[in-house]
Chains A and B, each alone.
Chain A
Amino acid sequence: MKKVIITEDILKVYNPKTIPVYALRHVDLEIESGEFTAIVGPSGSGKTTLLNIIGGLDSPSGGKVWVNGQEITAMTDSELINFRKDNIGFVFQAYNLIPVLTAKENIEFVMLLQHRSKAERAQRVKELLIAVGLEDKQNSRPAQLSGGQQQRVAVARALAASPAFILADEPTANLDSKSASNLLDIMLDMNFNEGVTFVFSTHDQRVIDRARRVITLVDGLVDSDVRRPPIYLPLNNPL
C-alpha cells in the first residue's frame, strides 16, 4: 500500500530556551493509504501536536514529515497552504464551518479555491450531501443545523477536495452518542467504500473500538501501535 504519511524522528519542544516541554519525542510513523487510524492517549500526550505537524499547521522542532511523497517540513508557509488545500482534509472538534455560507456552499468552498469547474463542483457537492445524509439541509446555514449535522458537513467539506487523507481532531468530542455514532458510520463508510484515509485523535472509546489501527501516545512517545480488524462494521457494509 502507498504510504501517505511518513514522520521521521519528530521532535517538538515548547519553550526550548526557558523551561523546555517535550510535546513529541522522536516520533516515527508510517500511515498507509486507506487506513482508519486513531491516535489516542491521555491529555497532554501530544495527540493534537502530532496531528498539527502532520497537517502542516505547526512545524516540528526537529525531524521530517512527508505527505503524499512530498516533504512538508521543507515547505514555505504559502506552499504549505496550497499543499493543504489539495492534499489534506481537516475536521475540527468545534466543526468550524463558515457561518455565513450554507451547507452546500461550505462543501463547495475548497473546490472553489481549487478552481474546479461549476459542473464538477455541483456534482461533487450533490454526492457528498447524499453521502452524509444532508440533501435536505443543503441550503441551511450552520446556525440552523445541529452539532451532529454541522460535523457531517465538516466531513463532507474535508472530503470535497479529494484529499490524500483526512485529519480529524476529536471529531466526536462535542456530539451526543447518537450523532457520534452516525458520524462514525459515515467516516467508516467512506473509508471502506471509497478508500478514504482517516487519521484522528480521540478520547472516545466508541471511536477507538472501531478504528483499525490505534496508535497510543504517552508523554510524546509512541507507546503502542496496534493494527486490528474493525470490531464494528459500518451499517451499510456489505460484509
Chain B
Amino acid sequence: MIFKLAFRNISRNPRRTGITVSAILFAVMSAVFMNSMERGTWDRLIDNIVSFHSGHIQIHAKKYWEEQSLDYSFEWTEALNKSISNINKIKAIAPRIEGFALAYNYSDTSSKGVLLVGTDPEKENNMSGLENRVCKGAYFNKEDKAVLMAEGLAKQLKILPGDTLTLISQGYHGANAAGRYPVKGIVSFGSPELNKQLVYLPLKEAQYFFDAEGLISSAVVSIENRLFLKPVLKNIKAELDSSKFEVMGWDEIMPELVQAKEMDELGNYLPLGILYVVISFGIFGTIIMMTKERQYEFAVLTAIGMSRFRLAMTVWLETVFLGMIGVSGGILISLVPVGYFHFNPINMGEQYSETFEKFGMDPLMPTSLAPDLFYVQAIIVFIITSVLALYPIVNILRLKPVEAMKS
C-alpha cells in the first residue's frame, strides 16, 4: 500500500512532477554524456600508451623497478611462461631484456644514448603490433643479428636500413657489452619519447650482447581488456613466489598517467557539482510545496492511525520515485548519444589530427559505455533525493495533527 500510495502521489500534480523529472533527466543526461566522453577519451589514450610499449602488466625480479638494473634479471623458464599464459584473460606475453646503451654511427661519428630492448619478435608483435610500425626496411626475426631503430633516433644518427649501428653498454654484473649490428628496419612511434630512444634486438642476440644468456629483465603481459587488470594481477601474483618476483600494473608503472587522469576528472567534478546543486534546489522547491500543501492530509492520515514512520516512508518513497523516474529517463536518453559516439567517435578534424598523431593516436574522441557511468548517476540522485526527503520526514515527525488541521 505504501508503494501504491507513493507512486500515485507522484501523479497528483502532473505539471510539477513533469518539471522536476525533466530537470533531473537533463542533469543525469548531461552528467552521463560528459563523464562518458571524458572516460572514453582517457581509455583510448591509456590503451594506446599501454599497447605501445609498457603492456598492462609487467613481471620483474624483486627490486628491479627500484634499481632498473640488469643485475636484477631473472630466468624466464618455459614452465613459468606456461603457468602465466594459462591465466584467463591474458592475450600475450613478451619477454624482454632492457638496458641503456650508447648508439654510435661509425660513418657519421654521431652518437646517442638509447634504450635497447631485446625481445622475441613474434611475441612482441602479438603484444604491441611492432611489425605494423615498420616504416622503412623490414621486421626482424628470432635468429636475426640485426636491429630495428625508432624513426626519430635513426634520423638523428643519419642511419638508414642496411647501415651499421654500433652499440656499447654495460652488461649483466658489470660485463662489457659491445656489438655492431646491421639496421634491418626503422619503426615509427607516435610518442616522441619512444621515437627518439628505442632500439630493438632479437631477444637471443640481446642476451648475448648483455652477457645475460637465458635471462630477461621483464615479462610484459597484455590482457584482453584493461577492466580485467585487478583479477589478472591477483592471479599472476598467486602463481609467483613473492619473495623473488614483483608484479606491477600499468597504473604503477606509469603513475603520472593516473595522476593526469585524476586531475582531469577533478576538473570535471566542479561543473557537475554545480549542475547537481542547481537541480537539488529545484527538487527541494517541489518538496517544500508538496509538504506545505499536504499538512492537512498528513494530519488526517495520522489521525486515522497511520504511523508517522509509515507516513514518512511513503513520502520518502515518493521523493525517491520522482528521482528514479528522472534518472531512468536521463540514462535512457543519454544512451542514444553515448552509444552513437561510442561506435562513431567524434573526429577532432584536421586542426587537431597532427597533435593526436604525434602521440600515435587517431584524432577521435569516443564515448565510454562503462556501466558505472550510468549507475553512479542513479546513486547520486538517490542520495540527493533521500537527503532532501528529510525535510518532509522531519515535518511529519514533528506534526501536531490539530494544528495542522487548523492551518
- Which residues of A line the B interface, CB within 8 A? 52, 55, 57-58, 77-78, 81-82, 84-86, 89-90, 92, 94, 96, 98-101, 109-110, 112-114, 157-158, 161
Contacts and interface: CB of A to CB of B under 8 A. Distances in A.
A90 B300 CA distance: 9
Interface string B1-33: 100010011011000000000000000000000
B303 A57 contact: yes
A61 B1 CA distance: 37
Interface residues of B, number: 21
B402 A52 contact: yes
A96 B300 CA distance: 7
A82 B401 contact: no
Contacts of A157: 304
A154 B53 CA distance: 77
Contacts of A78: 307-308
A91 to B, nearest CB: 10
Contacts of B297: 96, 98-99
B321 interface: no
Contact of B11 (A57, A100, A113): A100
Contacts of A58: 401-402
Contacts of A161: 305
B296 interface: yes
Contacts of B11: 100
Given A100-B8, A100-B11, A92 B308 contact: no
Contact of B300 (A85, A92, A113): A92
A81 B377 CA distance: 39
Contacts of B300: 90, 92, 96
A158 B303 CA distance: 11
B308 A81 contact: yes
B296 A96 contact: yes
B308 A113 contact: no
A82 B296 contact: no
B402 A113 contact: no
A52 B406 CA distance: 12
B13 to A, nearest CB: 11
Interface string B293-310: 000110011111111101
A13 to B, nearest CB: 15
Contacts of B12: 99-100
Instruction: Kindly name the residue among B1, B297, B305 whose own CB sees the greatest number of chain A CB atoms within 10 A.
Output: B305
B5 A81 contact: no
Nearest to A96: B300
A114 B300 CA distance: 17
13 contacts: A57-B402, A77-B308, A81-B305, A81-B307, A82-B307, A90-B303, A92-B405, A99-B297, A100-B8, A110-B305, A112-B1, A113-B304, A113-B310
Scoring A55, A82, A113, A157 by chain B CB atoms within 10 A of each residue's CB, the highest score goes to A113
A198 to B, nearest CB: 16
Q: Which 10 A-B pairs have the closest CB atoms?
A: A85-B305, A100-B8, A96-B300, A58-B402, A112-B1, A57-B401, A84-B305, A52-B402, A57-B402, A113-B305
Contacts of A94: 296
B292 to A, nearest CB: 16
Given A57-B402, A100-B5, A81 B296 contact: no
A57 B401 CA distance: 6
B402 A90 contact: no
A37 B310 CA distance: 33
Given A82-B307, A90-B304, A113-B306, A101 B296 contact: no
Contacts of A81: 302, 305-308
Contacts of B9: 100
A94 to B, nearest CB: 8
B49 to A, nearest CB: 57
B8 A101 contact: yes
A82 B301 contact: no
A89 B305 CA distance: 9
Nearest to B305: A85
A112 B5 CA distance: 12
B297 to A, nearest CB: 7
Nearest to A141: B8
A193 to B, nearest CB: 24
Contact of A110 (B302, B304, B307, B308): B304
A84 B5 contact: no
A85 B402 contact: no
Contacts of B405: 92
A158 B300 CA distance: 12
Query: Which of B296, B301, B302, B405 neighbours the largest number of chain A CB atoms within 10 Å of its CB?
Result: B405
Contacts of A114: 305
Interface in B136-185: none
Query: Which of A58, A78, A81, A157 has most B Cβ within 10 Å?
Result: A81
Contacts of A84: 303-305
Contacts of A101: 5, 8
B401 A85 contact: no
Contacts of A85: 304-306
Contacts of B401: 57-58
Nearest to B404: A57
A97 to B, nearest CB: 9
A161 B9 CA distance: 24
A58 B296 CA distance: 15
A100 B314 CA distance: 13
